[in-house]
Structure 1
Amino acid sequence: MPTEVESAETAQVESARRRKTRDRLIDAAYEVFAETGVHAASVEMITERAGFTRGAFYSNFDTKEELFFALAERENRLRFERLQEGVDAILPEFDPTALTEETLSDLVTQFLVLQGDDRRWCLVQSEFKLLAMRDAAVAASYLAYQNGFLKQLADRIDAALHSVGLRFTVDPLAAVRIIVNVYESAMQEAILEGSTAGSDAGSVSAPPLARDTLPGLVHALTEPLD
């Protein structure tokens, strides 16, 4: 009979194996979703790409949609980490007493370059949003995910603005929704125009429309703290 220590070690090994399986399925889904679209992607296509069986899929996820949300959680976590990197590295150098439209523009541009984005992620998000618009069963989950993400983002950006003596002139969540919509439109336009950086990954970093539009928009949506 295994000891408590042996049982704990076995549980750790099983947990690590399960995490590795989930990660491989998420990686495979990312590739397949981007190549074929979320709707056209099948469980079989995903498991084949990951090198697993259907059983491995259903032991980790109930549906293809659940797998998408796991992918979205991972991708958004990475973007929040990049945002925090910017807060830690860029904001300490920012002088709020010398705030002008030009200095704010420089600040926003630095965050855009740091944050960047990925062509595949834009494609996958757009595909899944379209799926949710067509399928009421998916729509509620998609809205909950999107609203939760935007609320987290609004809280973090609002806190970052306060740290440099600024605040939004409207509700932070409403402001962030506007900014995100403009950024996503800029990303889609860059993809349509074929404006990519890094042909291997198909990445689009700081789309031109975002660089041209967002600084002025952020300036219009912010004001100094009293």
Structure 2
Amino acid sequence: MTDESAVTAPSESARRQKTRERLIDAAYEVFSEHGLHAASIEMVAEAAGFSRGAFYSNFESKEELFFALAERENGLRLARLKLAVEAQHHVARPDVVPLNQATVETLVGAMLALQADDTRWFLVLGEFRLFAMRDQAVARRFTARQHEISVELAELITLAIASVGARFSLDPYIVAGIVSTTYETAMQQAILSGVDDADSAAHVIAMRTLPALIFRLIEPA
């Protein structure tokens, strides 16, 4: 390989990655504004500043684009949660701090504080979930990825609760499902209420139930 080709290959790869990122960014905007069903490939490509051909050079379909968007957004949320868990481990003093509901409330509040843009993602994800229910091939892939996310979430909340000297009395995977469902219910209530800042409202609603719920699902380690 010549020096010129060695430079060109990474450059082309970088350009392709930037193109994909712009398409994913555009998809997020278009999906959240118009809905997944109404959003066309042409609308996404135009919003990203590309042609239909450029879209198909990077993604096979609108569904494929959604999965790329989901991978990014879920990854960001899990990364934020991981940061919160790691920070908690640095300051935790389970030998000093009592294991009570107030301690769990502080822990849950720290986890929720780092989450952002959940309203928009909740709406897009909800639409795709309905779409997946009508397409078995998409449903299998969607369900498989949601399972992987639940496994990762279970690992993180297990580490988080260990920082206060506790462990779950149920399978952490089951607890992860309960936590996710409770938070999604809070998001739904916040959005339907019509408040301007649904993210903050959802956090308030979740804090009314999650700490007490989690406290009843843990025991001293």
Q: TM-score, normalised by structure 1?
A: 0.90
| CA–CA distance in structure 2, aligned partners of residues 117 and 207 of structure 1 | 12
Residues 133 and 139 in structure 2, CA contact (< 8 A), matched pair in contact too = yes
- The residue number in structure 2 matching 1:85 is 83
Stretches of structure 1 lacking an aligned partner (at least 5 in a row)? 198-202
Q: Which residue of 2 aligns with 1:193?
A: 193
SS of the counterpart of 1:207? Answer: helix
- Determine the structure 1 residue equivalent to 2:160: 160
2:214 alignment partner, one of 203, 214, 218 = 218
2:108/2:210 contact within 8 Å kept: yes
**Partner-residue secondary structure (3-state), 1:115:** coil
Which sections of structure 2, spanning at least 5 residues, go unmatched? none
2:199 aligned with 1:204: yes
CA, structure 1 residues 195+95, in 2 after alignment: closer, same or farther (shift >3 Å)? farther
Alignment of 1:1-226 (within 5 A): 4-97=2-95, 98-197=98-197, 204-205=199-200, 206-225=202-221
Aligned positions, number = 218
Q: Could you say which residue in structure 2 is the equivalent of 1:200?
A: none
Q: What is the CA-CA distance between 1:35 and the residue it aligns to?
A: 1.2
Counterparts of 2:196 and 2:150, CA distance in 1: 26
Range moving further from structure 2, 58-67 or 163-172: 163-172
Using the TM superposition, give the Cα deviation of residue 117 of structure 1 relative to its aligned residue in structure 2, in angstroms.
Answer: 4.1
Q: CA deviation at 1:12?
A: 0.9
Deviation at 1:187, TM superposition (A): 0.7
What is the one-letter code of the residue matched to 2:174? Answer: A
- 1:190–1:196 Cα contact (<8 Å) kept: no
Distance in 1 (CA, whole Å) between partners of 2:2 and 2:159 is: 45
Q: Measure the CA separation in 2 of the matches of 1:187 and 1:63.
A: 29
**C-alpha spacing 1:16/1:122, structure 2 compared with 1 (3 Å):** same
d(CA) in 1 for partners of 2:196, 2:220: 36
Per-residue deviation at 1:212?
0.4
8 Å CA contact 1:101–1:219 kept in 2: the answer is yes
Given the superposition, is the C-alpha separation of residues 28 and 181 from structure 1 closer, same or farther in structure 2, using an over 3 Å criterion? same
* Cα distance in structure 1, aligned partners of 2:24 and 2:168: 36
TM-score, L = length of structure 2: 0.92
What is the deviation of 1:77? Answer: 1.4
Alpha-carbon distance, 1:159 to partner: 2.6
Cα separation, 2, equivalents of 1:112 and 1:140: 29
Offset at residue 81 of structure 1 (A): 1.8
Q: CA RMSD in A?
A: 1.6
The Cα offsets for residues 25-47 of structure 1, whole Å up to 9 and x where unpaired, read as: 00010011111211221111110
Mapped partners of 2:159, 2:88: distance in 1 = 14
SS in 2 for 1:39: coil
Deviations 1:122-179 (A, max 9, x none): 1001110011112223211111111111111112222332344221111111110010
Query: Which amino acid is the alignment partner of residue 42 of structure 1?
Result: S
CA deviation vs aligned residue, 1:41-69 (integer Å, no higher than 9, x gap): 11111101111111111111111111111
